[in-house]
Amino acid sequence: MAVIGSGIGGAAAAAALLQRGMDVRLYEQATALAEVGVGVVIQPNGVRMLRRLGLGDELIRSGARWIDPQFRRADGSYAAAMWPPALASQIEFYGMHRADLLAMFVDRLPAEIVKAGHRCIGFEQDDEQAVITFANGLRTTADVVIAADGIHSTLQQFVVAPSAPLYSGSVAYRGVIPAAGVSWPPGAMRNWLGAGKHFLVYPVRAGLLINYVGFVTTDEPMKESWSARGDPSALAREFAGWDPMVETVIAQLKTTFRWGLFDREPLATWTRGRLTLLGDAAHPMLPHLGQGANQAIEDAVALATVLSHADRKSAPRALLIYEQLRRERTAGVQRMARVSGARYDASGNLHARDRKLDAQPQERAWVWNYDADAEAEAAAASL
């Protein structure tokens, strides 16, 4: 198995394949595996998969569990809880630093299977094998190639004509700061909602840091980038006059990242022969549902589970089973992420919006309760 791309999805896929006893190589174009300094939320469906991978203890140690998640209005007044107190013991959310999550997967991989400095530039296949070509001159063969190379995937073109990027009309300022600098309450998540913008804060790295994201509506074109620098003073102007805690968080910033929010229409297919797509290469989604990393981890576990029932000859059929399992589900999550973003930024009748916020645990149960591993095990019985 050759996994192209060592972000969250690719590293999770390599770890899941290795756990299932498969021979895997993980190829990354950068000279070292690294993640930018921002947060990610692991939700109940992602928690379930991490535990299947044997990473439950690491999640609890490196994550920061949400015990008091609230939506607030721009002035700081209470709008809604993310879930009723009666469900608090049943719903597990953990804020994590992306670098910590990536390290959880990579630490499970023997050093010899991780190949940094390998930028994929070509792909070909026949009935017997796939061949990958890298910019450094290496050509290597594999029974299966997994394209986990992100929203700008090089390998996607060998599966399907790429869909055009869809700009959401919003940008996100994001980063992390020490929690102690603003006396952040342990376990608290706050999402302040205003017309055309909202500001999200939650703890990561066992509560030592907090991750902030300021979402702002704008017609200004922005590139898709996790690492483009933003202007903290511009962010401060956008949220001037909001709840003093929002202004206090922004006042701590020395740097910030500014990220244009894009997604894609669902792809018609993810798989061609021995090549399949995973994570953002298959289903980039807006961040308003917090499911991007969770869906990539689901992809990884489901793919490894199905492939563990295959051999060299049946691998292409196994990839089609994986696609059939995942394509409709991820398309539904993509759509829900769009709806959530529109809801958060709505103006007008705040009470009507707040009632919809109260309904979220029921609306999202189908996302949170899904067991990708069990579904894949059942589907693989047809191999």
Residues recognised as catalytic:
202
DSSP letter string, 247-314: HHHHHT-S-EEEEEEEE-PPPS-SEETTEEE-GGGT----GGGS-HHHHHHHHHHHHHHHHTT--TTT
DSSP character for 179? Answer: G
Task: Give dist(CA 108, CA 105) in Å, integer.
Answer: 5
Task: Give dist(CA 111, CA 56) in Å, integer.
Answer: 22
CA atoms within 13 A on the CB side of 331: 12
Tokens of 270: 């993810």
Task: Give dist(CA 308, CA 287) in Å, integer.
Answer: 31
Cβ proximity of 119 and 133 under 8 Å: no
Task: Give dist(CA 278, CA 276) in Å, integer.
Answer: 7
> 2: which residues sit within 8 A by CB, 6+ positions away?
24, 25, 27, 130, 132, 140, 142, 144, 145, 146
Beta strand 114-115 pairing with 2-4: unpaired
Amino acid at 309: H
Cβ proximity of 94 and 64 under 8 Å: yes
Gyration radius from the chain CA atoms: 21
Task: Give dist(CA 66, CA 376) in Å, integer.
Answer: 29
Task: Give dist(CA 3, CA 12) in Å, integer.
Answer: 10
> 104: which residues sit within 8 A by CB, 6+ positions away?
50, 55, 58, 59, 62
Beta strand 139-142 pairing with 94-97: unpaired
The sign of the CA dihedral 370, 60, 87, 90 is positive
